Structure formats: structure tokens, C-alpha cells
Structure 1
Amino acid sequence: MKASSPSPDGVMRLINGYWATGILGVAAHNRVFTHLEEGCATAAEVAGRAEISERGAQTLLDALVSTGLVDVCEGRYRNTAEASAYLVEDRPASLASFARLKMTHMASLADLGEVVRLGQPVASPVVEVANNPHWEAIVTAIAAQSHPAATLAADLLGLAAAGEVSILDVGGGSGVYSGIWLEANPRARSVQLDWQPINAIARRLLEARGVGERFTCVDGDFHTTDFGSGQYDVAVYSHIAHQEGPDSNVEVFTRLRKALRPGGALVVNDYILDDDRAGPAFALMFAAEMLLKSKHGGTWRRADYHRWLTQAGFEDITFHPAPPGTLVIAR
């Protein structure tokens, strides 16, 4: 091969990308990152703590070094800063449970060819129904993704010093926004609108955080439930817009605008594309997830959100990076 020829290494890594999903899921299942954080530094030590074979532990560690999540020096292993922040269990932004969950989703990619041909899911989307039996695992696993964005939004809005504010979280899932914001502001109160099985999970989690007495749930579908008029200082619409089509998002944004008091703010968090569709990388790839699982969803551009929010009556619209997503604040 000529020196100027490109290397096939990157292509090979992408072709075999499912290995990374599997390795990461199994490592999370066996708490490898947590064991490393707690002082295990060799394959033998990880094997002993995780109760797995030493050969298996060595294979996991080698693969994790390949992913860039673990460093090795003279036979001793340690988490990178990224793994320490996002893959050690029981940390607010830990994605360990999400890594375990995604490993179980790999089989769905077998349908991708037919889904691309049809432009919609092969089977009825399970994620869009209230009685999804997997809500317990899904809702808790994805909560950590919103932790950095919810923390950033609290800072941008000055919620800690905002006094008696009223919050509406539409499709709030685990209640992660309400939990973080109610902890930051002991005078705030929050209402979450979601399906009953999901609200039950959120109530349990927020009671455990000690803010349950200021957290109220409304059981219902946000497509048909009235948000009220002029009742809230802040509204949240996090990781919902990617499941909806343009008309639905405009309709919901319009009702959210009506629900806000004068000067109120809408917080939107999602995987949002640059207008030229050149990035961000995660948002570009996530569109395939929506093609597999929703009839009308997708990853939308900044220009789309700006247009929809303007149509809904918002005038001041700003975008803020909140990897892996983007935070939008509209007033």
C-alpha cells in the first residue's frame, strides 16, 4: 500500500461497530468501570471483583482501551475522564444503564434495510404507546442524558434565585428536570404531564430525592391534554420533538406558549442538526433510530425549530450546546 493511501482501519471499526456496543454493554453489566474507579487496576483484580473469568476481563479491558474509554500503563488500567464521568454507576450523569439497554436493541438493526426502503417502521412503534412494558428500564436508563442539559438550563434561567416559580414538564419521563430544578430552588413547584405508568416512576424517583411534596403529576397524552393558560413560568419539552413531525411540534409549541405567563420561558432539549446538515455527529446518526421506531420523527435542523417556535408566538429564541444534544430557550 502506498504511503499516501488511506488506511482501512476507520472503515473496519465502523463495519464492526456492533462490537463496541456489545463490549460497552457487557462491561457496564459487569460494573467494570465502577470497579476500576474503586481501585481495581489489573485484569485479575477486575475478574475477582466482577466474578468473571480473567480471560474475559482481559478481553473487555483490551477492547475498552481500543474504544478510548480505558487507559493502560505497564499492565495497569484506569478509566479515562470520560468513562469516569459517564460510566461509573450511581453518578448523576451515569450512562451505564443506558449502555446495558442499548445492547439489547442491536437485533432491531436487522430491519433497517426494509425500513429505509419503506421510510417507516416495519412494525407498529412500541415507544409511542402508554402500556410499553419496557418503560421502567427505558425511562430510568435515559434520564442521565438530560442531567447536563437540565443543569445548564437552570443556570441559564437563573432558577436557583427565581423564587416561587411554577414549572410544566411535558413528557417529563423520569422527572429529571423537575428533580434538579426543585433541588436548586426550594420555592419552586413542578407539574409533569405524562402517561400514568411513567408518572408513577417519576413520583417514586422524586420522592427519593426529597422533593416529592412539590411535584405533581397529570396522567395523560400531551397530544390531547390541555396545558392551561398563563399558569407557568417555565415549560419543558425535552427529547420529544424528535418523535414528532413538523405540524405536531408547531401545535404543541403553540399550546405551550399559551400555557406560559408573560415573560415565561420554554426549554427544549433535543438532538438538533446544524442547518447545513454537516453535524453534530450524534444527531446525524440518531435519525436512523427515529426511522426505525417512529412514523413521523427525525432529527430536525436549528432552522426548523426556529421557524416552528416563531410560528407558535415566541420571539426570543436561543440555542446552547448541551452534548449530546442542544438546548433551546424560547420566550
Structure 2
Amino acid sequence: MALAITNAYPHLQATVIDLPSVVPVTQRCIEENRATDRIQVNAANVVEEPLPGTYDVAVLRSLLQVLSPEQAFEALRHICAAIHPGGVIHIVGRILDDSRLSPLETVGFNLVFLNVYRDGCACTEREHRDWLTTLGFDHIERKPLTNGFSVITAHKPA
């Protein structure tokens, strides 16, 4: 995602946060795409530790759904703490409606999450809203994408 965004908008700088075991692969990908001047790679386990640095925008893509709800909140707590006042978080992934019965594609994928990942599950819009509100974010909005994906956007007050 960082490659696509910084290729489309070369004036932007991005930081990719990955698990320490994944950083060498991520770094190699950034180098192969000649993007080391635009993209920095940092190692961190967002569930267990604060992030290095501070950021204007955070984009999470299909991260929270592979974690337990408790781990997802801890990850959000660390990520949200690293966002500057006035900043924004975008959570892209499979997010269930509060009924847990739709979108249908997400209900189906939730069965996979529950069986493949130790603690993973698709959480509801309400759960995301509650987490973000608890962490001090407002103007929380969910927009549906295609194939059962959604994006939740929230703002950190200035």
C-alpha cells in the first residue's frame, strides 16, 4: 500500500511498520522498487509495544481481523497514540454490521478467521466505534467497499 500511495503521490513520505521477522522482506521490496527515499521501514509489534515515531495518518489493512478483540484494542491503542492531534486513522478490512449477519462475504470470511487464526475474527462496526471513541477519536465514519470490505475513518481532535 505504501508503494502504491507514494508512487501516485511522490511528494508523500510513508513509514511501514512490520513485525521484526517481516522487516527484511519489506525492506527488500522497498529497495527493489527504488522507494527508499520515500518509504521508511520500522520494526514493532503493535499489539505489545508503542510505535516508534509519530504520524499524520495511519492506514491499517486487514490487521485487526487476525487478532482477538483484546489484541485489536491494544494494537489500536498503540497506533492511535502515535497519531498527531488532527491526524486520521483508516481501518480497511472485513468489518461486520452490528447484527453480525452482514455483509455476507464478511460473515463467510469470519468462519475462516475463526478456524485459521488462533484468535482472529471480524469485529463489528460498533466494536470499532467503541474502541476509537475510548481512544479519543471522533468523526468516525464507515464506508462500504467491494467484496465485503469496509473502511472506517476516524479523526484525532487537534
Task: After superposition, give the CA deviation of every residue in 1:75-109 in whole Å (9 maximum; x if it has no partner).
Answer: xxxxxxxxxxxxxxxxxxxxxxxxxxxxxxxxxxx
Does residue 9 of structure 2 align to residue 185 of structure 1? yes
Count of paired positions: 154
Give the alignment partner of residue 200 of structure 1, picking from 24, 30, 45. 24
The structure in which a higher percent of residues are helix is: 1
* TM-score (normalizing by structure 2): 0.86
Which consecutive residues of structure 1, in runs of 5 or more, have no partner in the other structure? Answer: 1-176
Q: Which residue of 1 aligns with 2:121?
A: 298
* Partner amino acid, structure 1, of 2:5: W
Distance across 2 between alignment mates of 1:225 and 1:295: 20
* Partner amino acid, structure 2, of 1:285: G
Q: Which residue of 1 aligns with 2:105?
A: 282
Q: Which residue of 1 aligns with 2:140?
A: 317
Give the alignment partner of residue 272 of structure 1, picking from 76, 92, 95. 95
Q: Which residue of 2 aligns with 1:165?
A: none
The 1:192/1:310 distance shift into structure 2, 3 A limit, reads same
Does residue 35 of structure 2 align to residue 211 of structure 1? yes
Distance across 2 between alignment mates of 1:301 and 1:275: 5
Distance across 1 between alignment mates of 2:37 and 2:121: 36
The alignment-based identity, stated in percent, is: 22
Q: Is the 8 A contact 2:20 2:44 kept in 1?
A: yes
Task: After superposition, give the CA deviation of every residue in 1:273-321 in whole Å (9 maximum; x if it has no partner).
Answer: 1122231121001111112122322111111111111111111111112
* Partner amino acid, structure 1, of 2:97: D
Which consecutive residues of structure 2, in runs of 5 or more, have no partner in the other structure? Answer: none
Q: Which residue of 2 aligns with 1:235?
A: 58
Task: After superposition, give the CA deviation of every residue in 1:174-196 in whole Å (9 maximum; x if it has no partner).
Answer: xxx21111112222212212134
Task: After superposition, give the CA deviation of every residue in 1:130-149 in whole Å (9 maximum; x if it has no partner).
Answer: xxxxxxxxxxxxxxxxxxxx
Larger radius of gyration: 1
Q: Is the 8 A contact 1:251 1:312 kept in 2?
A: no
Q: Is the 8 A contact 1:243 1:296 kept in 2?
A: yes
Give the alignment partner of residue 252 of structure 1, picking from 70, 75, 84. 75
SS in 2 for 1:213: coil
The structure in which a higher percent of residues are strand is: 2
Q: Is the 8 A contact 2:44 2:51 kept in 1?
A: no
Does residue 121 of structure 2 align to residue 263 of structure 1? no
Counterparts of 1:1-331 in structure 2, within 5 Å, are: 177-228=1-52, 231-324=54-147, 325-331=149-155
Deviation at 1:223, TM superposition (A): 2.1
Distance across 2 between alignment mates of 1:330 and 1:209: 31
Distance across 2 between alignment mates of 1:209 and 1:322: 28
- Aligned alpha-carbon RMSD (Å): 1.8
Distance across 2 between alignment mates of 1:293 and 1:327: 23
Larger relative contact order, structure 1 or 2 (CA cutoff 8 Å, min sep 6): 2
Deviation at 1:197, TM superposition (A): 4.3
Deviation at 1:199, TM superposition (A): 2.5
The 1:251/1:306 distance shift into structure 2, 3 A limit, reads same
Distance across 1 between alignment mates of 2:144 and 2:36: 30
* Partner amino acid, structure 2, of 1:320: K
